[in-house]
Structures are given as structure tokens and as C-alpha cells.
Amino acid sequence: MFGKEEETRAPIERGGDPNATSILAPGCRFKGEIEVKGTFRIEGEFEGTIRHPDNLVVGKTGHVKGSIYAKSAVIGGRVDGDVTADDKIELQSGSVLEGDIKTRRLVIDEGVVFEGSCSMGKRPVSEPQRSSAPTNPEPAKKQQTASS
């Protein structure tokens, strides 16, 4: 229009832009399940399940009620639920987390309230833990010896 060529952009592939930042702003509320690529920053209220962001940031005013599955997470606000991160979870000063943590690396600043359990290891946390013991072991048989 007006003698200028229209700018053409390549469409974003299905699955979202991994470099994008999505924000749930203060005063906003969301209830449900969300799957995000890139960074997801929460400054409002979220209730439900968050899946697959590369980086999840729960800001000082953010409140999450539900489950979080991310590559890494930085918690500055409040989380009521379990947090699973493939790489790292950071709990910043003043944050509150009531739930269980599963991650490879964990950073907890002074002044954090954490009520729950923590599981850490080198194996990817999304991979189920495998037991080396058989699932239905046979009971040990008593060995009898003949006496003369």
C-alpha cells in the first residue's frame, strides 16, 4: 500500500518460537493447562499445569497453583504444587514453594520457604526411575543339608 512493498515474514513453525517470551501479567488469571516454548514469565495467577517452557520465571507477584514441568525454573513468588525441571530450579529470596521438587541442580537463597521433598540426580528427571531388582522376586528357598 502507498507504493511500499509489503513486508513478508516466514511463518513460525507449529510448536511456537523457542526464543519467544510469554507473559502472564500482574492482575491476570489463567486456569487450565498450557504448553509453552521459550520463556514463560508469570506475574499474575496461574492455576493448572505448565508444560515444556525452556525457562519458567515466577516473578515476585506471581502465584502458581498446580504442576510445573520445565527445562529450568526460577521462582521468586509463590508456588503451591510440584516443580519438575530437567536442568535447574532456583528459589529466590522471599519465595514460597509448597510441593515436591525434582531436578538435577537446585539453588536456594536465604529467606526461602520450602515445604516438601526434593529429588536430585544426574539422570534426566523426565525419565522414570528404573529399579534393578526384579518386580516379582521368588522367595528364597531354604537349603537343607543332610546330617549323618
Predicted local confidence at residue 12, as pLDDT = 44
C-alpha grid cell for residue 116? 516438601
Predicted local confidence at residue 119, as pLDDT = 95
In a domain, 101, yes or no: yes
In a domain, 107, yes or no: yes
d(CA 92, CA 58): 10
Range of the domain at 87: 21-111
Whose cell is 510440584? That residue is: 82
In a domain, 36, yes or no: yes
In a domain, 105, yes or no: yes
d(CA 87, CA 104): 5
Prediction pTM value: 0.73
In a domain, 144, yes or no: no
In a domain, 131, yes or no: no
| The three-state (H, E, C) secondary structure of 24-36, written as one string | ECCCCEEEEEEEC
| The three-state (H, E, C) secondary structure of 101-123, written as one string | EEECEEEECCCCEEECCEEECCC
C-alpha grid cell for residue 8? 513478508
Spans in the chain with pLDDT lower than 70: 1-17, 123-148
Predicted local confidence at residue 20, as pLDDT = 87
C-alpha grid cell for residue 115? 515445604
